[in-house]
Amino acid sequence: MKKNFRGMTLAALLLSASTSAQADNNEYVHGNATSQAFVGDIVTNVPTDRRSSYVGTVAPTNDYAPVTIGDLQPTGYYDGGYSEPISYGSGCASGMCDTVGCDGGCDSGCGSKHGQLGRRLADAFNMCNSDGWIRAEALIMFMQNRQSPALVSSADPGLFPVLPDGVVEFGEELDGGVSGGFRADVGRYLTDRIGVGGRFTWIGENGDDFSMTGSGLDANGRSIGRPYYFTPTVNPGIAGEDSLIVSQLNLFSGSVDASFSTELVGAEAYGRLLFCKNKASRLEMIGGYSHWSLDDELGIRSTTTDLQTATSNTFASRFDAENRFNGGQVGFESVITRGKWTARTLSKIHLGNMERTVNISGYSDESTAGAAPQPRTNSSLLVGAQQGEESDDEFTFIPELNFTLGYRFREHVSFTVGYNFMYFDSVALAGQQINRNIDTTNLGAQVVPTGFDIVDGSLWVQGISLGASVDY
């Protein structure tokens, strides 16, 4: 009999301890936090219309804190030492969901209002805290000026457009201005700590066109030329600056056209692992696969007509450089939330192989009035014997930094604005493959290509992004 009495006494103490534990946890109080009425409390501040019925009596049962077996927790259970309650859908009650956007995943199958079956299925597949993201951004990007030799020069009327006295009209610093682009990032969390995603980036052609014409009859018209450094093989002592004349007063008329462009495309597949978090911030480690494609091209074409003989000569050259990167990526992304504002910082580095391919081609021809052009393949100016296609591989790295500020204007939907920076090392750029040391002693002869070495270059890209983010 004493044992049974002791057992009943112990059970009563445990139940009363559980109730006391809930008494300092407002999450389990029925009604609002200011009215905290608990089991056994005496009502002394009920409204006037109820005072006559309840003064000095035990509070009615509908004001009690609900007590269930699942609510039995240690006394200090929600004192800040735990980041989330111990229950089904644990992430949904922690306050963290509002900062990382997991409401949709939790509410869809983990809450009790969806029934025991939905809760158990979600828990069985470890998807109680799963959530996904879709981010779409328009990019406004600037690229580093590309380098090349001086390709077009001019001089005052009557003077030859030879460097260094001439003025560089095209070449040296190739500024492509502003380019538009697009970036999309889609993914989903598989568990509270592990997520997978993919990202696609495209930056449109960053480049410009150039054109210049001279009649050779305008006394105020500038002389136009295509400068190069003359390196004769027969008599090296006469080497020096020279120029292919395009337009010269009373001697030649002609025109020159040139263009350059750079395009960038990237595709990534990555995983993310939660490193640490609290109620207002989150730090994740990112790793995965990266592919980047950077294409750079430059072309120039000029036509010159001798005003005395009406003989025309055309010289054209084209330089194409393709860079294909395949490798891995590793980095960190941090998210800090304050109310409706979110700051996101992504820093990572891509490491892998850069396959570089450079193609140099050109042609020239000569024609006179009433006669068919006479093409001279492999003998165009600025190409010479260094023509054809060459490829190689380089181990390289691509650091990347993104900073994004978002404002949540609707539940799960935010507007974003950000800054983006990338640096490409050991890439082949078209303008840097041009060798301005040319031997024009026998320009009309057929030349057998001898090949060339690819010149290393680098390129940075930076700009701003404007977009929207959807967390579900």
Alpha-carbon gap, residue 359 to 296, rounded angstroms: 11
Cβ neighbors of 392 (< 8 A, separation 6 or more) are 355, 356, 454
Q: For position 47, what pLDDT does the model report?
A: 45
Give the model confidence (pLDDT) of 369-388 as tens digits.
Answer: 767 777 776 667 777 778 88
166 lies in a domain?
A: yes
6 lies in a domain?
A: no
CA distances to 51, 356, 399, 412 from 207, rounded to whole Å, are 83, 20, 23, 38
428 lies in a domain?
A: yes
Alpha-carbon gap, residue 348 to 281, rounded angstroms: 19
Q: For position 379, what pLDDT does the model report?
A: 66
10 lies in a domain?
A: no
Q: For position 24, what pLDDT does the model report?
A: 41
Alpha-carbon gap, residue 261 to 176, rounded angstroms: 7
Residues 219 and 325 occupy one common structural domain: yes
Which ranges of the chain have pLDDT less than 50? 1-3, 5-115, 117-118, 120-122, 124-128
Last residue of one domain, picked from the residues 124, 149, 183 = 124
Strands (E) in 339-454, as ranges, are 341-367, 374-375, 388-410, 413-427, 437-438
Alpha-carbon gap, residue 414 to 467, rounded angstroms: 9
Quote the DSSP letter at residue 441: T
Residues 100 and 189 occupy one common structural domain: no
Length of the chain: 472
Alpha-carbon gap, residue 356 to 424, rounded angstroms: 13
263 lies in a domain?
A: yes
Last residue of one domain, picked from the residues 71, 105, 124 = 124
For 67, the domain range is 15-124
Q: For position 370, what pLDDT does the model report?
A: 66
Assess contact for 317 and 364: CB atoms under 8 A: no
Q: For position 394, what pLDDT does the model report?
A: 95
Residues 287 and 409 occupy one common structural domain: yes
Tell me how many domains the chain contains: 2
Residues 154 and 83 occupy one common structural domain: no
Q: For position 94, what pLDDT does the model report?
A: 38
Q: For position 116, what pLDDT does the model report?
A: 54
453 lies in a domain?
A: yes
Contacts of range 359-362, beta carbons closer than 8 Å, 24 or more positions apart: 359/318, 359/319, 359/320, 359/321, 359/388, 359/389, 360/317, 360/318, 360/319, 360/320, 360/386, 360/387, 360/388, 360/389, 360/433, 360/452, 361/317, 361/318, 361/387, 362/315, 362/316, 362/317, 362/318, 362/387
Give the model confidence (pLDDT) of 15-32 as tens digits.
Answer: 444 433 333 444 433 344
Residues 161 and 77 occupy one common structural domain: no
Residues 219 and 256 occupy one common structural domain: yes
Residues 158 and 64 occupy one common structural domain: no
CATH code, 384: 2.40.128
Residues 164 and 306 occupy one common structural domain: yes
Residues 38 and 181 occupy one common structural domain: no
Prediction pTM value: 0.72
Residues 81 and 175 occupy one common structural domain: no
Q: For position 67, what pLDDT does the model report?
A: 43
181 lies in a domain?
A: yes
Contacts of range 112-118, beta carbons closer than 8 Å, 24 or more positions apart: 112/88
Residues 113 and 143 occupy one common structural domain: no
Q: Which residue has the tokens 């730090």?
A: 283
345, two tokens? 């910082």
40 lies in a domain?
A: yes
Residues 421 and 280 occupy one common structural domain: yes
Last residue of one domain, picked from the residues 124, 150, 174 = 124
| Cβ count within 10 A of residue 237 | 6
Assess contact for 245 and 312: CB atoms under 8 A: no
Provide the Cα torsion 104, 106, 108, 114; round to 10°.
-150
